[in-house]
Chains A and B, each alone.
Chain A
Amino acid sequence: MLNIYLDTNIYIIGLLHPKTNCAWILEEIVEGEFKVIQSDYLFDEVLAWFRQHKGKDKVGGVRNYMLSIPLRESVHRNEWGLFVGELKNEVKDIDDLPHICSYIAGNCDYFITTNRRLTQEAVKRIVNFKNPKEFLEDVLNKKGIETEGGV
């Protein structure tokens, strides 16, 4: 079974924009074909965005959504934190590091993101980045939706 790490942008776009590849991926993970790796950092980031931009009352629903993914595993900062020292020179922005470390700690096969900047950094040497469209096409053999940046 493949382990995948979905970046914050995938949850936000996927929940709010039904006609995107991000939403399609959220529909696919319901089938339980992949194990979705999540971290405390990821939860805090997604929930903070919804709190700031959609209101406090939406936060509970998003949390429930993320917790109800049938096959998921949480990586706590005590686990991903072990890789911070070793990987800190692999990314330009240190604040991206917890996601990369969670990917490593969760033994992930793919890191799915719409953040093109991150995918161009030195860390691509050890992280298998895919944008949502690439993931659907290269891994699931489905014809992705034509969207800006593969979102």
Chain B
Amino acid sequence: MTTDVTSIRLPLKDAIMLDHFVESGEFKSRSEFIRFAVKKAINEMILKEFHEKLGEDKKMTKKKLNKLQKEIKDIRKKLWEDYAEHLS
């Protein structure tokens, strides 16, 4: 994994709590904790952005669900043809 080093300044209280999770074995190191926290924040922000910009309030009806399944199926059929070539 290629990494980039970033120094961060934490309030003492947060640093102590972070160490608590490391000492209790939840995370191997401070770095591992921070990597997890950053990934979690990125994931949450992207999901929130999707819901705000593209989210539909309308109910997912049976008709819509069937239409979606058919759209996925069409893509899946085509995709399988491509993959099958490489698998054989």
Q: Which A residues are within 8 Å of any B CB, using their own CB?
A: 8-9, 12-13, 15-20, 23, 26-27, 30-32, 41, 44-45, 48-49, 52-54, 58, 61, 64-65, 68-70, 77, 81, 84, 93-98, 114-115, 117, 147-149, 151
Contact = CB atoms under 8 A, between A and B. Distances in A.
Contact of B55 (A18, A44, A93): A18
Nearest to A13: B60
A32 B49 CA distance: 20
A48 B36 contact: no
Given A32-B40, A149-B62, A98 B83 contact: yes
A contact patch SS? helix
Nearest to B60: A151
Contacts of B39: 68-70
Contacts of B76: 8, 45, 93, 95-96
B51 A23 contact: yes
Interface in B45-62: 46-47, 49-51, 54-57, 59-62
B72 A77 contact: no
B1 interface: no
The 7 closest A-B pairs by CB, nearest first: A95-B80, A68-B43, A18-B51, A65-B46, A95-B76, A68-B42, A18-B55
B65 interface: yes
Contacts of A64: 42, 46
A113 to B, nearest CB: 10
B69 A65 contact: no
Contacts of A41: 79, 83
Interface in B18-45: 36, 39-40, 42-44
A114 B44 contact: no
Contact of A15 (B40, B54, B84): B54
A27 B50 CA distance: 12
Given A70-B36, A95-B77, A65 B50 contact: yes
B60 A17 contact: yes
A95 B69 CA distance: 13
